[in-house]
A and B are shown apart, each in its own frame.
Chain A
Amino acid sequence: MDFLAIQLFNGLVNGAFYALLSLGLAVIFGMMRIVNFAHGAFYMLGAFVAYVLLQQAGIGFWPSLVIAPLAIALAGMVLERLLIRRIAGVDPLFGFLLTFGLSLLIQDAMRLRFGLQGQPYATPAELAGAVSLGAVTYPTYRLFVIAFSLAVSLAVWYAIERTRLGMVVRAATERAELTRALGVDVDRWTTPVFGFGLGLAALAGVLAAPMRNVSPLMGSELIILTFAVVVIGGMGSIKGAIAAGFLVGVLSSVGAIFDPAIEGIVAFALMAVLLLVRPSGLFGSLETS
């Protein structure tokens, strides 16, 4: 029973990362119709920014939690202006290929600079240790990751579904031409939205740093799992990204109780089942495909 509870929490922690990453993918896809393969690379860069800030400047976890996402978001906005913008209007497949190339470039460039060896990153002192939750004790930092990512996810959901800014973004997503005709400068929003999506990835990267070793390859496998999560949730759906993220995390960890080998496969099996019974995903509509 204790083991089940601990696996449940582990699942929520993994789910927290899936949710943050697929949320960023969903936002970018919604606005630009680009599936950003490089999302995992920017998650990794976020972790490295935190690592380098600590090593070179002694800047700790909390400032990094703000600085790294901002830095990556800024870099992303520059990238959007220089590269991504050039393929607007081209078949979306080329956006996928472009960002795939970008992820290879970033990953191996970091590998040249830092090597493949994972670098440890200390858990912030305030969150060290473990908390007793009745029958089980669980690391404080991991509980923080769950709560923090849930809060960020809900904030993003609120911003997009309930605010005026979100309304503009949603309108531009669904009917770009019509939104333009109504006097909204759609193109003004693509750059910041792209930056925002990458910022979310970097935020997840900083959160991951104290739990997982900081290494150039940390994002490459995660991104493919995140694709499965996105297909399960329904592409472009904010709700779907969050729900599917936590769902996949929990099911994978609970599956590992029966057989550890199952853990890596649950997400893909779930995706296969959903393709069979509901190809548009949990919260997606086929129209957005």
Chain B
Amino acid sequence: MSLRRGQVAFAAAAIAVALGLPRVLYPVLALDILVWGLFAMSIDLLLGFGGLLSFGHAAYWGVAGYAAGLVARDAGMPFPFAALAGVVASAALAFPLGYLSLRRTGIYFAMVTLAFAQMLFYVANEARPLTGGENGLQGIPRTLGGLALGPSLSFYYAALPLVVVGYLAAYRIVHSPFGHVLVSIRDNEARARALGYDTARYKLVAFVLSAALAGLAGSIEALSQRFVSLDFLHWSTSGQVVLMAVLGGLGTLWGGILGAAVFLLLRDFLSTSDVLRDAPGVVTGLVFIVIVLGLRRGLWPTLRNGAGRLLPRSRRAALEPQVPEPEIR
């Protein structure tokens, strides 16, 4: 029973934080944290649970952003439909690109996904009538019936349910039979295949689901910023979200939000510095290096172990992950 009680307490705390966050931080930053957290989760779904490092998820974040922006602006659709259009666009794109990329594994997979994302960057840059090229897609409205969603605080609460749907979808995927097969492929693909699972198909479905989550995040980001720039598709975006996922802790899912929060708060703090504002890579790069050298398991497991020491021994099981985390050496 302690497990269930632990979960209820966790959920209650999460809801309180989600509702109170825009009162503590300014609303745009608060929504940024939740949205990038969802984006990082999409990476974790693929890397932490499937063992596949996509270094080109900016493609799905960006394409969804453009799709959502166009649907909201040129078709005048309410914002949830715009977000849905973004999800559909990124999932549709992920099918062919995922199929091609998954023909290689490991580090090659990372390079191929990166290259395809860069291709989309070029395409978006050339497709000026549609994307606005270097000027970006501007003036994206966000409407829902008669609601005034202009103020960022209003939009935060309007978008919150969509983000939560994304979190719950990721949680459901990971804890479903499908998710368990995915973990078994991560740990030993040959054995999973020998047990009769069509592993290539599982990986493709995981890729498309991950891209759809990244697309949901990208759509909401576009509506939140009211603007989509080529930066959405830039390779540094792909790198940044991988950093958040690894920083939070792979195979933890919720770690993605933690990683996003730490990263974005750090960046927000640095933007007050005259020197580092124009060169955030100095800090981002250092964070990357520190994580790889000394914190490969990420913040979430580290914190969880710390919290575990505070609990009596009989209660510690509540904090154990229910899906085996990847062995990270």
Residues of A whose CB lies within 8 Å of any CB of B are 35, 83, 86-87, 89-94, 96-98, 100-109, 111-112, 220-221, 224-225, 227-228, 230-231, 235, 261, 264-265, 267-269, 271-272, 275-276, 279, 289
B12 proximity list for chain A (CB < 8 A) = none
Task: Find out whether the CB atom of A261 lies under 8 angstroms from the CB atom of B292.
Answer: no
In the bound complex, CA of A228 to CA of B235 (Å) = 14
CA–CA, A100 to B281, complex, Å? 10
CB of B115 closer than 8 Å to a CB of A: yes
Q: Which residue of A lies closest to B116 (CB)?
A: A268
Closest A residue to B103 by beta carbon equals A279
Residue from A89, A104, A227, A279 within 8 A of B329 (CB atoms): A89
- Chain A residues near B116 (CB, 8 Å)? 268, 272
Pick 21 A–B contacts, CB within 8 A, sort by A: A96-B107, A98-B288, A98-B292, A100-B239, A103-B285, A104-B236, A104-B282, A105-B281, A106-B285, A108-B279, A225-B115, A231-B108, A231-B111, A231-B112, A231-B115, A235-B108, A264-B119, A269-B119, A276-B100, A289-B104, A289-B108
- Bound Cα distance from A228 to B101, whole angstroms: 12
A92:B106 contact, CB within 8 angstroms: yes
CA distance A86 to B329 in the complex (A): 12
* Chain B residues within 8 Å of A86, by CB: 293
A104-B281, A108-B282 known; A87+B293 contact, CB < 8 A: yes
With contacts A100-B239, A107-B281 known, is A275 near B112, CB below 8 A?
Answer: yes
Min CB distance, B271 to chain A, in Å? 14
> CB-CB < 8 A to A97: which residues of B?
242-243, 246, 288, 291-292
Kindly state the separation between the CA atoms of A87 and B243 in the bound complex, as whole angstroms. 17
Q: How many whole Å from B99's CB to the nearest CB in chain A?
A: 9
A144 to B289, CA, bound (A): 39
The CA-CA distance from A14 to B235 in the complex, in Å, is 21
- Inter-chain CB contacts under 8 Å: number: 131
Docked complex Cα distance between A35 and B107 (Å): 8
Q: A98-B288, A104-B239 are in contact. Are A271 and B115 (CB under 8 A)?
A: yes
A289 to B111, CA, bound (A): 13
A231: which B residues are within 8 A, CB to CB? 104, 108, 111-112, 115
> Closest CB-CB distance, B54 to chain A, in whole Å?
11
A92, A100, A265: the one within 8 Å of B119 (CB): A265
* A98-B111 contact in complex given A272-B100, A275-B104, C-beta closer than 8 Å: no
A289 and B105 in contact (CB under 8 A), knowing A107-B281, A231-B112?
yes
Residues of B within 8 A of A111 (CB): 278-279, 281
Leading 9 A-B pairs by shortest Cβ distance: A101-B288, A105-B285, A108-B281, A104-B285, A268-B119, A104-B281, A108-B279, A264-B122, A98-B292
Kindly identify, within residues 99 to 155 of chain B, every residue whose CB is under 8 Å from any CB belonging to chain A. 100-101, 103-108, 110-112, 114-116, 118-119, 122-123, 126
* B53 contacts chain A at the CB level, 8 A cutoff: yes
**In angstroms, how far is the closest chain B Cβ from the Cβ of A251?**
15
Of listed A86, A105, A271, residue having the most chain B CB within 10 A: A105
Residues of chain A within 8 A (CB-CB) of B287 are 101
Verify if B75 is at the interface (C-beta below 8 Å from A). no
- Chain A residue nearest to B329 (CB atoms) is A90
Shortest A36–chain B CB gap in Å is 11
Contact B118 A224 (CB under 8 A): yes
Contact at A35–B293, with CB atoms within 8 Å? no
Least CB distance, A269 to chain B, in whole angstroms:
8
| Interface check B180, CB cutoff 8 A | no
Distance in angstroms between the alpha carbons of A215 and B325 in the assembled complex = 42
Contacts of B226 in A (CB 8 A): none
Shortest Cβ distance from residue B148 to the other chain A in the assembled complex, whole angstroms: 40
Contacts A83-B293, A91-B328, A100-B239 given; does A105 touch B112 at CB 8 Å: no
B275 on the A face (CB < 8 A): yes
A173 to B277, CA, bound (A): 43
Give the residues in chain A near B47, CB-CB below 8 Å. Answer: 93
Chain A residues with Cβ under 8 A from B55's Cβ? 96
**In the complex, B237 has a CB within 8 A of chain A:** no
Min C-beta distance of B180 to chain A, whole Å: 22
Q: How distant is the Cα of A62 from the Cα of B288 in the complex, in angstroms?
A: 37
A112 touches B118 (CB 8 A): no
- How distant is the Cα of A231 from the Cα of B47 in the complex, in angstroms? 21
Pairwise interchain contact A93-B110, C-beta atoms closer than 8 A: yes
Instruction: Kindly list 17 other residue pairs between chains A and B, CB separation below 8 angstroms, not including A105-B288, A108-B279.
Output: A86-B293, A87-B292, A92-B107, A93-B107, A93-B110, A96-B53, A97-B242, A97-B288, A98-B293, A101-B243, A104-B281, A224-B115, A227-B115, A228-B115, A268-B119, A268-B122, A276-B100
B316 CB-CB contact with A under 8 Å: no
